[in-house]
Amino acid sequence: MKIGFSKICINPPYGSPIVGYYEPRFVKGILDNLYVRAVAFDDGENKALIISLDLIELGQKYFDALKDTVNQATGVKKDAIFINCSHTHTGPLVGKDPASDKESDEVYDAYFISCVHDAAIYAIDDLREATIETAEAQAKNISFIRRYRMKDGSVATNPGVNNKNIDYPLGKPNETVKLVKIIRENAEDIFIVNFGTHPDTVGGEYISADYMGYVCSIIENAIHHTQCMFLQAPQGDVNHVNVSPSKGEASISEIDFDGVPRGIKHAEHMGRVIAGAVLSVCSVTEKVKSDKISFKTKTVELPSNQENNRLEEAKTIHILYETGRANELPYKEMALTTAVAEAERIIKLQNGPAAFTFTLSAIRIGDIVFAGIGGEPFTEVGNRICRQSPFEQTILCCLTSSAGTYIPANENYAEGGYEVKSSVVKPGGDDIIVEGMIELLNEL
């Protein structure tokens, strides 16, 4: 097996729109760089590419365009091109913002696509003989369920730090860090790190790759002649907010406009914990077979979450918010965000479609499989796939190669909360995705 690596900076220009909130933001500066990273695999018969992007997400039009341009430039088959978005909330808009009517700049879009094109070519040019080893570790106390049952019986997302009305969290985070270590002959080694927590720890109007960028830079600085790629795992119901923080934890962030604590120091802290977990096992990895490449995709239809019986209510919320009259609504902070997101979903779906097409993707490298889902599945949806996977080493990623939405588990719909109310998918979507992914993995 030959494996290659490349990375290219994709920082946007000053004044570019930043995507991630319903509040408008524009680039004022850069805290740390954004990258496209590419890892190429070649078994002598087939090639595959794993590509990571420091972006919040992409629409299907852009995933398809990237696969087209990479395929034309490299000859790598489209189903063998795996594109994962990190989900940083301090990165540029590419395409249309699903939370507003903002459109990205065509000049930056073209530059971004050219960077992905070049990164793929450079990774293939960097191919060297390699072996693969793997390990797992735990990153403790940085990932928290963000959905809570309140003492009055309601459910709230991000209900606020030290909120005495919180009863208990609705779930459990997956603290597993997976490492794929690639050892190359006469070339830099490559670490691929897989972990899932919703990355919105920085906030503001300065560009940052969030904690994922720190994971990579810390590992690269700690281990000479090593490059690092981060792949985001399912994280739809987990984030960085400890609602009962110590004084030390509270000191590394500030409460933002929506009641959520954020700060660059918190992102750096998370990066250190995850990188520390990787460093604790990177010398005791186990070699795995990496002889052949296979790949496949599968499309599934997920039912649309229409609620036209609430359309007038949704339009009222939308108008008040868009005209600067949010103070007339009976919500504030995260409750306001939830109400606005729900209204936008109802309006968006008023004329359909009846279902959404999701693409599931998988690339097998010997005994390892990289499995990708569009959107943001809840943690337990990802856990179900990993438990049922025929592969012992399953690197499961969200926001991959397909546009998406929040994908709650069936039982979460009755609970409510921001993720459920904003999801364009009805109950049952999780089962369709889990069953479809397991079928796909069994076919490799």
Give 123-164 pLDDT, tens digit per residue. 999 999 999 999 999 999 999 999 999 999 999 999 999 999
Residues 220, 342, single domain; the answer is no
Contacts of 164 (CB under 8 A, 6+ apart): none
Over 90: is that where the pLDDT of 293 sits? yes
Do 219 and 275 have their domain in common?
yes
362/319 same-domain check: no
Do the domain assignments include residue 254?
Answer: yes
Q: Are residues 206 and 344 in the same domain?
A: no
In sequence order, the 6+-apart residues with CB closer than 8 A to the CB of 34 are 9, 10, 11, 12, 54, 55, 88, 91, 92, 207, 209, 213
Contact 365, 132 (CB under 8 A): yes
- Does pTM top 0.85 for this prediction? yes
Residue at 300 is within a domain? no
Q: Which of 85-99, 152-166, 168-182, 370-384 has the lowest average pLDDT?
A: 85-99
| pLDDT at site 22 | 84
- On whether residue 31 sits in a domain, the answer given is yes
Residues 340 and 436 in one domain: no
Among residues 351, 366, 382, the one where a domain terminates is 351
Could you tell me the CA-to-CA distances from 363 to 57, 69, 131, 443 in Å, in that order?
20, 19, 17, 11
Residues 342, 372: one domain? no
Residue 389 and residue 253 share a domain: yes
> Residue 99 — very low, low, confident or very high, per pLDDT cuts 50/70/90?
low
Sign of CA dihedral 211, 201, 253, 242: negative
On whether both 199 and 318 belong to a single domain, the answer is: no
- Is 302 within the bounds of a domain? no
- pLDDT-derived band at 23, boundaries 50, 70, 90: confident
How many separate helices (H) and strands (E) can be counted in the chain?
11, 26
DSSP label at 6? E
Tell me, rounded to whole angstroms, the distance of Cα 77 from its chain centroid.
Answer: 24
Q: Tell me: pLDDT of 98 over 80.
A: no
Select the more confidently predicted residue: 96 or 226.
226
Q: Does residue 410 contact residue 428 with C-beta atoms inside 8 Å?
A: yes
Same domain, 333 and 192: no
| DSSP track, 245-273 | --HHHHTT-EE-TTS-EE-HHHHHHHHHH
Which residues span the domain enclosing 320? 307-351
Cα(74)–Cα(293) distance, rounded to whole angstroms?
A: 16
Asked if residue 261 belongs to a domain, the reply is: yes
What does the CA dihedral 134, 136, 142, 146 come to, rounded to 10 degrees? 100
The CA distance from 18 to 264, in Å, is 16
Total tally of structural domains belonging to the chain: 2
Structure-block tokens of residue 78? 């489209």
Q: Are residues 270 and 382 in the same domain?
A: yes
